[in-house]
Structure 1
Amino acid sequence: MKFIMLAYTNAQNWVEGTWDPEEVQKACDFFEQLGKDLAASGEGVYTAGLGDPSLTRTIRETPGGTVAADGPYAEVKEVLASFGIVDVVSADRAYEIAQQIVDAVGDIVEVRPLMDGS
């Protein structure tokens, strides 16, 4: 079963760049080890960090035509910072991995199953 994990982080810290260097290094070390663990178990499929949220554009259809809007908006408290795809035996295993991320770095992690085309 494949799942996508969407990691959200504090928007204010992202915009202001107010991360503690030690916390950043701790998070980097955690993600490096998690990546190695998931590669060794065969559960890791793909991960990527996302670029600056100020470069985000949302494209949507409106009655007046297609519109591209800047985002995210100032009132957003969290921004989507990264994602990972895992291929695991159960949803519970995906939730376990997400819990490790939350415990290690404090981000919010959304876990969603991926459609397999069947």
Structure 2
Amino acid sequence: MKYILLAYTNADDWQAAAAQMATTGELPPEVLKACEFYEGLHKELTETGEFVTTEGLSEPVHARTVRKGDGGPVVTDGPFAESKEVLVSFAILDCASYDRALQIAARVVDATGDAVEVRPIGEGPGPMEQ
């Protein structure tokens, strides 16, 4: 079954890393360490056949939200909800079980300290197959 892992980080930390990159051309050491972890995990999950895809997202300042308005769709700047944590990346995995997807997410949390939301893909409303 496929699962999406949504990785979140602290908005202030992300802004600080982006500012450092803009001024020095270098990422903070903790970001580089996280990148190394993700590269190793990607290789491992590719070898096990569980990796489908992953992408990092641009900063929330570049996000736009489209909502229904009285005169039609309305576009506003920023993500849907104001939050101290922002969505930074996603990965889609094809795992044998929900528990396996949660094990992988736990490894990400251990390595980065950031939150990871795990959701099954494609089941729609109603009971989910395990």
Normalising by structure 1, report the TM-score. Answer: 0.90
In the TM superposition, what whole-angstrom CA distance separates every residue of 1:4-55 from its partner, at most 9, and x where no partner exists?
0000011011123277722112111100000000000000000010012101
Which one of 72, 91, 105 corresponds to residue 65 of structure 1? 72
Q: Kindly indicate whether the alpha-carbon contact (under 8 Å) linking 2:65 and 2:80 is maintained by their aligned counterparts in 1.
A: no
SS at match of 1:59: strand
Q: Does 1:42 align with 2:49?
A: yes
Q: Runs of 5+ in structure 1 lacking a partner?
A: none
Deviation at 1:73, TM superposition (A): 8.0
User: In structure 2, the residue corresponding to 1:29 is in which secondary structure?
Assistant: helix
Q: Does 1:2 align with 2:2?
A: yes
* Alpha-carbon distance between aligned partners in 2 of 1:23 and 1:77, rounded to the nearest angstrom: 19
Answer with 69-78 or 101-110: which moved more.
Answer: 69-78
Q: Deviation at 1:116?
A: 5.9
Give the aligned CA root-mean-square deviation in angstroms: 2.1
Instruction: Name the structure where strand makes up a greater proportion of residues.
Output: 1
Which residue of structure 2 aligns with residue 108 of structure 1? 115
How many residues align? The count is 117
Contact 2:64/2:78 (<8 A) preserved: yes
Percent identity, please: 55
Note the residue ranges of structure 2 that are not aligned, 5 or more in a row.
21-26, 125-130
Partner of residue 84 from structure 1, selected from 88, 91, 94: 91
Stretch deviating more after TM superposition (45-54 or 57-66)? 57-66
Contact 2:57 2:87 in 1 (8 A): yes
8 A Cα contact 2:4 2:119, kept in partner = yes
TM, length-normalised to structure 2 = 0.82
In 1, Cα distance between equivalents of 2:42 and 2:90:
12
